[in-house]
Structure 1
Amino acid sequence: MAPAYDYRAAEEKWYRFWENSGYFAAHVNPDKEPFSIVIPPPNITGKLHMGHAMDETMQDIIVRWKRMSGFETLWLPGTDHASIATEAKVVEMLAKEGLTKTEIGREAFLERVWEWKRQYGGTIVNQLKRLGSSCDWSRERFTMDEGCSRAVREVFVRLYEKGLIYRGDYMVNWCPVCQTNISDVEVEHEEEEGSLWYLRYPLADGAGAGDGAGAAIIVATTRPETMLGDTAVAVNPADERYRKLIGKTVLLPIMNRPIPVIADEYVAMDFG
């Protein structure tokens, strides 16, 4: 008898037995109610972490319970190409070799990406198996498999034809390093200390505001470049300093365009 329990050997033995016995395979069975889960495919950007372990364990609990409850159960496994995230990893790897994706060219870069997928995609699958995940591995998918890609194109075209996908001019998140636009989920927001810029909006009739406010309204803003598009100046109706100006007109600096003074309780009287 071994002096200590060899969990690694035991886990590998029983997992191999489960796979070889077809316990994880799902079949079309009219006598059973179907139940399926598509695994949220891990990105091929490296190895699984503790978050993956927790997530896959919770799914595995549900899947095994459904099997034992008599459902024809499918847990569909797969991995995600991860697009820009994987590209960043491969670019980082090339940098260690003193290369850039521009230097090696498009085709060579794509081949490096596929090499990365073969290496880390296989690592992730092995990790999932080591976790004991009872997936139907005969149905394993990669998000760039032809079947998946064809389905995405088909759905995209259908949504376009229904007017649910359309092209237009919009503000986008642009990455100067990747030289491409990126989604909101890929943007990391950081708080930075900025400056308040004080702008003077003179009254159009040149009259004083009363109560020491002078012949202008001073507005503080962190975005002075947006001033050129101003359509009104809002003051809090409870603010005695500017209450008398509601309904009057001020001149937009630089543009000299008259804009109204309006009331809005949302305006903070002690800021800006």
Structure 2
Amino acid sequence: MTDTNSDPRSIQDPLANPERLERFARHIVLPEIGGAGQARLAASHVLVVGAGGIGAPAIQYLAAAGIGKLTIIDDDVVEASNLQRQTIYTESDIGAPKAKAAADWVRRFDPALDVIPVRARIDAGNVRDLISDTGQILDGCDNFATRLAVSDAATALGIPLTSAAVGRFQAQTANFAGHLPDQPCYRCWVGDAFDAEDCDTCAADGVLGAFTGMAGSMAAMMAIRIALDGVSALGDPQWGQLQLFDGLAPRLRTIRVMKDPACRALGHGSTE
């Protein structure tokens, strides 16, 4: 028997399947999404880097949106301290690889979706092999070295990227398409100073669980914008518009990231 979940395009049109139609009815009645938009979501493949504080809620909302195929990359295991904010996991998952536990949740939540767990740590040596077979990427990892490796490879391969980060009560998310003319990449925003593992951590600085949920939901929303590009009114990726959220105020503001003419990821400057 052919596995119809092996390709998101094999998922039936939500307008033609009564069960899928009911499941996504609240999307379909939105003029900004509609039936065409929901069909595009079902045909989309999003690769999520990191199944932690940002990735966990993002995975849940991407699955809830009907993204037809999800690849989840994470090399960590579930710890008790994760449960305060990574609500995709339960106590029974402690000690299990996060990628597998998150994929198991997706399968229980919606068996029609195709989900692929990958237990691996992304670095400059393996990143292209790990991300090349996808339509778009959502990066919610917790260190700059991985973020920049993913961004550089995405730019080189022409893959749109949603990047999200959170620290204490500050969060940021943006869509990048450095492969497009006049569009910046993530490295244009942070520069070359952060090609290292030495960044702040939730363990050291603390983080409010509900706030990471907000950041992950924002990241999922931005990824959905990419998936719907050219199909619906919601499909405006807003390339390079960095959303900064201050959770204490609370306050949201937008910064327009400019393309760096010296950015080495865009083929300029030093590659050393």
**TM-score of the pair, normalised by structure 2:** 0.18
The structure showing larger relative contact order (alpha-carbon pairs under 8 Å, at least 6 residues apart) is: 2
**TM-score of the pair, normalised by structure 1:** 0.18
